[in-house]
Amino acid sequence: MNGGGSEDGAAAAGDLGGAGEPLEWRFSQVFGERTAGEEVQEVDIISAIEFDKTGGHLATGDRGGRVVLFERTDTREANGNRKDLEKTDRPARTHPEFHYRTEFQSHEPEFDYLKSLEIEEKINKIRWCQTANSAQFLLSTNDKTIKFWKVQEKKIKKVCDLNVDPSKSVGNGTFANSKAYMSNGSSSDDSSNEMSFQSDGICYLRLPKVITSHDTSPLAKCRRIYAHAHDYHINSISNNSDGETFISADDLRINLWNLEISNQSFNIVDVKPANMEDLTEVITSAEFHPTHCNMLAYSSSKGLIRLIDLRQSALCDSHSKLFEEPEAPGSRSFFTEIIASISDIKFAKDGRHMLSRDYMTLKLWDINMDSGPVATFQVHEHLRPKLCDLYENDSIFDKFECCLSGNGRRVATGSYSNLFRVIGCAEGSTESATLEASKNPMRRQSATPSRPSRSLRSLSNVVRRGSDSSGADTNGNALDFTTKLLHLAWHPTENLLACAASNSLYMYYA
């Protein structure tokens, strides 16, 4: 990782340098935990998860089109006045804690009558935008429509009292010696009427008194809708570092949007051939560079990553760099292209490195070196003998996400049986842990086989976990292909992981 003489390169090498001690992961909290035998509704399954840049807020989206927001609370307590903290009876928090903040219905099911297609409400991606005036902004998308949301604390208005003069009322709140006139002109002594007349002829009405409380409640409001720009399913959205634009990608095109303009976008990548029979690959994921507003990367179903520069041309038909791992001779099979498809890419915070996830592996790339990945981590090598069965039950098409720690020293991704892997990628690191999304994450933990310390540039095809051929995990337990951990996110500055297992959100810290 020591290539390049620039300051950025030196900083990147410093971030990834130093293996450090392996982390010991502990359970923090869970939202939506299932009880034994409880049937999970399809609409409640989490389909997207994202921390904001500060790590103080977390958003999840589900297949029912809902977005749920969580807010971190332990940091506010830690930063509070010492005297106030001493007065409280609650013990000091020893781990990160998030509380439910609010939720809102982001998308509804639709029907495209022109194409006779049903558009489901499932949230594919969520991305936080820059905050302003203490309000949070975020983008959410389903297959066709992107929405821009503003979430802000609003003071609660409520009915506090009625404008009744206590001196002129009796115990039940009605006026003494009152006569209320009915609609037919007759009078009644019914004390339940809300209008009464005194001897002086003044009519008293019991009207509600509305006051503004000191309490606040978060309110979500849709500010803009970016629609009718994609013919195919949207798989990615990504904010630009300029704070003004974002991209959306479907199978064949990438569009560039301005956050303030919802009725117009610019097509910057189009891989659709003149004849659809000539189609050989599709776009699977796209992301802006974290610091360079003119650069973005997108991956394809062929296992390729293309880096493009928006300064080159309006339509980026050609890439500035192509990242591809050469195929090993004699290794090609019927499943080669399927398992090579990249399901997710993420830039490291330093902008120097990229992480990609295909069905079998995690790969770490240096954007200054396009000859191959600087490290390859085997995730599903033990499933290779099972590829035929996985193809028949469609599990081979599952799209697992990946993430990096804020300092770039560790990577994480999910697997089956609600397992996820955390792997050290710093030079000399032997860290590798297989954890389960449950209250006891170490239940599936097994001894990590030792391996010699190597230069990070020579880590290609290193197997970090034992690779058996039984379709089982590292402890020999049979994998459950119906329970899969597809979505997870790493806190931007701390060792805190959020994992989505079906409808449950598990959080772990180290």
Instruction: Determine the 3-state secondary structure of 456 from DSSP.
Output: helix
Strand order across the 253-258 sheet: 236-239, 245-249, 253-258, 261-270
User: Distance (Å, rounded) from C-alpha 437 to C-alpha 501?
Assistant: 7
Burial of 240 (0-12, 13-18, 19+ CB in 10 A): buried
Domain contains 194: no
CATH number at residue 383: 2.130.10.10
Domain contains 2: no
Domain contains 380: yes
Number of domains in the chain: 1
Q: Supply the pTM of this predicted model.
A: 0.79
Tell me the per-residue pLDDT of 176-231, one tens digit each, with 9 for 90 and over.
Answer: 444 443 444 444 444 444 555 555 555 556 667 666 666 778 899 999 999 999 99
Domain, as residue range, for 107: 46-86+93-150+226-443+480-509
* Sign of the alpha-carbon torsion through 17, 23, 28, 32: positive
Mean pLDDT value of segment 333-351: 94
What is the pairing mode between strands 305-309 and 295-300?
antiparallel
Domain contains 303: yes
Domain contains 41: no
Tell me the per-residue pLDDT of 480-497, one tens digit each, with 9 for 90 and over.
Answer: 888 999 999 999 999 999
Domain contains 99: yes
Q: How many H-runs (helices) and E-runs (strands) does the chain carry?
A: 5, 35
Percentage, residues of the chain above pLDDT 90? 61
Tell me which residue of 234, 237, 168, 259 sits closest to 205, measured CA to CA: 168
Distances from the Cα of 341 to the Cαs of 74, 218, 359, 362, in angstroms?
Answer: 40, 40, 7, 12
Domain contains 190: no
Q: Which residues, listed in sequence order, are joined to residue 136 by a DSSP beta bridge?
A: 151
User: Distance (Å, rounded) from C-alpha 128 to C-alpha 60?
Assistant: 11
Confidence of residue 166 (pLDDT cuts 50, 70, 90): low
Domain contains 269: yes
